[in-house]
Amino acid sequence: MIFSAAAVPLLAAVAAAIPLEVYTNDLTLTNSDVDWSIPVLSDEAIVSAALDTFTKMQNSTTVDQCTKCQSRLVYGKSLAMSRPDLIPTIFELWCNIQGDYSAETCNNKFHRTTVSNSSTGSNFADLLTLIDPLSIDAEYWCHYQVKKECPLPETPENLSIAYLWNETRPAKANTVPIPGNNTMKVLHISDFHLELEYTVGAEANCTTSMCCTPHSITPKNAIHSNQSSIHDLYTALFEGSYYDAEGNYHKGEQISALNNISVPATTFGHYECDAPEVLINSSLHSIADFQTKNNISFEFAIFTGDLVDHDETKYTAYEKSVEEETMIFRDIKNSFKNLPIYPVLGNHDTFPYAQLAPQKSGFHNKFDWNIELLTEMWMDYGWIDWDQAQFAKTHYGAYSVQLKSGLKIISFNSNAWYLSNEYAYSNNVEDPDYFGIFEFIVNELLESEAADQKVWLNFHIPLSNTVLPTAAKLFSEMVARFSPYTITGIFTGHTHRDEFNILYKNNNGTVESKQIEDVINLTWITQAVTPWVENNPAWRYYEVDTDTFQIMDSLNYYTQLNETFASSDEPVWEFEYSARDVYEIDWPASSPLNATYWHLVYEKMRTNATTLQTYESLSKRFSPYVKDCSEGDVCTWDICYVSSYTTEEYTACMKANPHYVDGTS
Ligand SMILES: *[C@@H]1O[C@H](CO)[C@@H](O)[C@H](O)[C@H]1NC(C)=O
Ligand SMILES: *[C@@H]1O[C@H](CO)[C@@H](O)[C@H](O)[C@H]1NC(C)=O
Ligand SMILES: *[C@@H]1O[C@H](CO)[C@@H](O)[C@H](O)[C@H]1NC(C)=O
Ligand SMILES: *[C@@H]1O[C@H](CO)[C@@H](O)[C@H](O)[C@H]1NC(C)=O
Ligand SMILES: *[C@@H]1O[C@H](CO)[C@@H](O)[C@H](O)[C@H]1NC(C)=O
Ligand SMILES: *[C@@H]1O[C@H](CO)[C@@H](O)[C@H](O)[C@H]1NC(C)=O
Ligand SMILES: *[C@@H]1O[C@H](CO)[C@@H](O)[C@H](O)[C@H]1NC(C)=O
Ligand SMILES: *[C@@H]1O[C@H](CO)[C@@H](O)[C@H](O)[C@H]1NC(C)=O
Ligand SMILES: *[C@@H]1O[C@H](CO)[C@@H](O)[C@H](O)[C@H]1NC(C)=O
Ligand SMILES: *[C@@H]1O[C@H](CO)[C@@H](O)[C@H](O)[C@H]1NC(C)=O
Ligand SMILES: *[C@@H]1O[C@H](CO)[C@@H](O)[C@H](O)[C@H]1NC(C)=O
Ligand SMILES: CC(=O)N[C@H]1CO[C@H](CO)[C@@H](O)[C@@H]1O
């Protein structure tokens, strides 16, 4: 990494001035009376000198906010090299002084990581040692991590990972695969988000972000004056309900609803809460029962990540994270027995939240324990073999599996590029494959292309608008290179909504740039089991062509969670929809539901209000919180979302359609 201070003279001057100022403020020392092994300034003096300098910088009227943010990084970097331990304190205090965020958010972002608080200040200190504070990487950080202090940089035109393939694209790479006549069934599950602190009877409509726990105490609503009318609506208060190892449901003791609760958390979960274990097991058993009842079996399952709850940072302890991660895999194994599962890790499947350091950075050992724990579990359960587990340990949980059917599955950890991962900002332009993940995927793809194999890519966070725009660009470059011949499926979760993203050639956001002949490929984004936030729990399976591994149909199942609130029965899981039927598109039965099909769905969403409403209803699985799309433009952002692949494309689409209302945040 080049520390190109000369590029910006003003900043260089600031940087040069600071250490001098710190060390000359209150010291007049001669060489002879200094013991150089002892720090010359107290920690307090260093902290206060830093804050003083930040205040002076902030008071400057001659530089813009972006320069101020970068100057703080310059200062922070010089200090982080020798005293990384002071960085969290300084930046948390500064965050509070600056006042753009609540004290709690400042704590989450900048407080030192402890075993009890999943705050990321220690990871930020690591980042400072890695980042070039005068680079575009720092501009990304100042845009996404501190209230857009820098404008979003334009993704460099020449940013590319084409050097990873380098050779001319073989003619066969343009061949569109034609499905055969046989299909197999593959299960897709995602986003369980177990809440170990889920408490029957706790407040389910609270003012904090996560309800149904002993600490979510303040109701959003005034307490209803007639408590018994509320209690009548929520009678399913069976504490200690569970499924045994054979999958039989045991209903717990009914408790009476507490007073001072506006909506009590019921047995199987609530819309503002992550999943109690009994809901997760209900979903898993519904899948096992579905196979038995219909006398079918899934070939295998893909699980696209997220095990740990969304509770506030101060309640997301290390131990709770580990327990939630391991409990869910145990429950999956117990329900599915010998069904092979190919899992990936999500942004919640790490500690502290969303952090993952590149192997090259020297900080990766902070995360080894997690990757080792989970990949060894996958190996013990027989999902991946010893070699794959060894590979996964040095590749953030990534592995590739060659199935007997001929399909290759490549699973990788897209948290590397997530906007909340401090380390994502360390070198994303200078060394575009800083994590080494693209190299792994591309090598696998090249090998498969040469051997005429089809490949599925599985990961958690769609590589679109919640990752760094640079990663989205590189990913779309790679997908275009290996479509349509080699990549025949891209599967993710993360958003908890049932969605999709289409990749077009030269998409500038306008309708004209999204023509049917410009379609390249598509990412499937699947539903979640957790009801958080305001969704019904759901899962799906695909009918997959056994020759080309293209998706012929997606069959979706869900449970209407509110039906369990006053019931003493288990949730009822029912058929939700078939992706081939629900949109009433004229599409030959022999053609796969490829990106061209989804382009026609997009066209219909754009031109037919009924179809837009159908999409919105499915995205939340008919929960009581589905938006009424006829009320203004509340659903129009969906049209941009499905027809964009990168951050720029989504932004350009919203700009090209000024009356659309952004619903992503
Ligand atoms: C910064 O500006 C504030 C408000 O104008 C002032 O009170 C403070 O003394 C200034 N601080 C420094 C270090 O210049
Ligand atoms: C991309 O362009 C920038 C600015 O024009 C240049 O500094 C950089 O070296 C280029 N990078 C590559 C990999 O060509
Ligand atoms: C890639 O292509 C460039 C020329 O475009 C060549 O100089 C380089 O040696 C090639 N690298 C590999 C690994 O083939
Ligand atoms: C599928 O079945 C049709 C009609 O039975 C036949 O013409 C076609 O060759 C079959 N395709 C494959 C790939 O087997
Ligand atoms: C939760 O509180 C909000 C705000 O007061 C209210 O609009 C909503 O109806 C409540 N939800 C339930 C399920 O009672
Ligand atoms: C309170 O609600 C209960 C149950 O819904 C109802 O039977 C009772 O009449 C209500 N009491 C008042 C005072 O409204
Ligand atoms: C955890 O964070 C909360 C604020 O969000 C803070 O009050 C508490 O002191 C922190 N605990 C530790 C051990 O850092
Ligand atoms: C976007 O692309 C379309 C079709 O390629 C072209 O007609 C149009 O002029 C472009 N618009 C802008 C704003 O670049
Ligand atoms: C909109 O789509 C629905 C469902 O496919 C269809 O019944 C209806 O005729 C369409 N409306 C228009 C105006 O095309
Ligand atoms: C999708 O399938 C249809 C029909 O088989 C084909 O014409 C089209 O080219 C395919 N689209 C893509 C993007 O491969
Ligand atoms: C559950 O929600 C759905 C969707 O809003 C609604 O149709 C249904 O009546 C609700 N059921 C109960 C028991 O409230
Ligand atoms: C996920 C997805 O749509 N993949 C498609 C990529 O492109 C090829 C060719 O169109 C399709 O076969 C895949 O289905």
Model confidence band, residue 39 (pLDDT cutoffs 50, 70, 90): low
Q: Cα 629–635–639 angle (5° rounding)?
A: 130
Asked if residue 115 belongs to a domain, the reply is yes
Instruction: List, for residues 466-502, the tens digit of each pLDDT value.
Output: 899 999 999 999 999 999 999 999 999 999 999 999 9
Verify whether ligand 8 is closer than 6 Å to residue 512 (CB atom).
Answer: yes
Look at residues 632, 638, 637 and name the one whose alpha carbon lies nearest to residue 619. 638
Residue 216 near residue 208, CB atoms below 8 Å: yes
**Structural domain that includes position 497:** 181-193+275-655
The span from the CA of 200 to the CA of 423, in Å, is: 38
Based on its alpha-carbon atoms, the radius of gyration of the chain, rounded to whole angstroms, reads 26
* Residue 435 belongs to domain with CATH number: 3.60.21.10
Distance 232 CA to ligand 6 centre (A): 9
Q: Are residues 440 and 562 in the same domain?
A: yes
The span from the CA of 200 to the CA of 209, in Å, is: 18
Distance 223 CA to ligand 6 centre (A): 15
The span from the CA of 476 to the CA of 472, in Å, is: 6
Q: Are residues 362 and 416 in the same domain?
A: yes
Verify whether ligand 6 is closer than 6 Å to residue 232 (CB atom).
Answer: yes
H or E segment and range at residue 491: strand 487-492
Verify whether ligand 7 is closer than 6 Å to residue 488 (CB atom).
Answer: no
Residue 126 near residue 352, CB atoms below 8 Å: no
DSSP states along 384-411: S-HHHHHHHHTTTT-EEEE-TTS-EEEE
The answer to whether residue 136 scores a pLDDT higher than 60 is yes
Asked if residue 236 belongs to a domain, the reply is no
Q: Are residues 120 and 187 in the same domain?
A: no
Pocket test for ligand 5, best of 205, 223, 272 (most atoms within 8 A of CB): 205
For residue 179, the ligand 4 atom closest to its alpha carbon is: 13
The answer to whether residue 3 scores a pLDDT higher than 60 is no
Q: Are residues 297 and 440 in the same domain?
A: yes
Nearest CA to ligand 12 atom 5: 488
Q: Are residues 188 and 51 in the same domain?
A: no
Residue 278 near residue 366, CB atoms below 8 Å: no
The answer to whether residue 11 scores a pLDDT higher than 80 is no
Q: Are residues 185 and 127 in the same domain?
A: no
Asked if residue 160 belongs to a domain, the reply is no
Q: Give the chain's domain count.
A: 2
Pocket test for ligand 6, best of 223, 224, 225, 229 (most atoms within 8 A of CB): 229
Verify whether ligand 6 is closer than 6 Å to residue 30 (CB atom).
Answer: no
With a Cβ cut-off of 6 Å, ligand 11 is lined by 560, 562-563, 622, 624
Instruction: List, for residues 493-542, the tens digit of each pLDDT value.
Output: 999 999 999 999 999 999 999 999 999 999 999 999 999 999 999 999 99
pLDDT at residue 521 in the model? 92
Beta strands in 293-380 (DSSP E): 300-303, 341-343
DSSP states along 10-64: HHHHHHHHHHHHHHHTT----GGG--TTS-SS-HHHHHHHHHHHHHHHHH-SSS-
Model confidence band, residue 36 (pLDDT cutoffs 50, 70, 90): low
Distance 179 CA to ligand 4 centre (A): 9
Is 2 exposed, middle or buried, given 0-12, 13-18 or 19+ CB atoms closer than 10 A? exposed
The span from the CA of 481 to the CA of 164, in Å, is: 11
DSSP states along 80-97: HTT-GGGHHHHHHHHHHH
Q: Are residues 596 and 484 in the same domain?
A: yes
Distance 353 CA to ligand 7 centre (A): 15
Asked if residue 220 belongs to a domain, the reply is no
Residue 343 near residue 329, CB atoms below 8 Å: yes
For residue 160, the ligand 2 atom closest to its alpha carbon is: 13
- 189-226 burial: b if 16+ Cβ within 10 Å, else e: bbbbbbbbbbbbbbbbbbebebbbbebbeebeeeeeee
pTM of the predicted structure, to 2 decimals: 0.93
Beta strands in 403-486 (DSSP E): 408-411, 455-458
Asked if residue 209 belongs to a domain, the reply is no
Asked if residue 532 belongs to a domain, the reply is yes
Instruction: List, for residues 78-116, the tens digit of each pLDDT value.
Output: 999 999 999 999 999 999 999 999 999 999 999 999 999
Q: Are residues 187 and 114 in the same domain?
A: no
Asked if residue 565 belongs to a domain, the reply is yes
Q: Are residues 99 and 186 in the same domain?
A: no
Verify whether ligand 6 is closer than 6 Å to residue 166 (CB atom).
Answer: no
Q: Are residues 109 and 185 in the same domain?
A: no
Look at residues 153, 496, 136, 476 and name the one whose alpha carbon lies nearest to residue 306. 496
Q: Are residues 140 and 289 in the same domain?
A: no
* 1, HSE (Cβ side, Cα atoms, 13 Å): 23
Distance 656 CA to ligand 8 centre (A): 10
Asked if residue 315 belongs to a domain, the reply is yes
Q: Are residues 431 and 493 in the same domain?
A: yes
- State the chain's mean pLDDT as an integer: 93
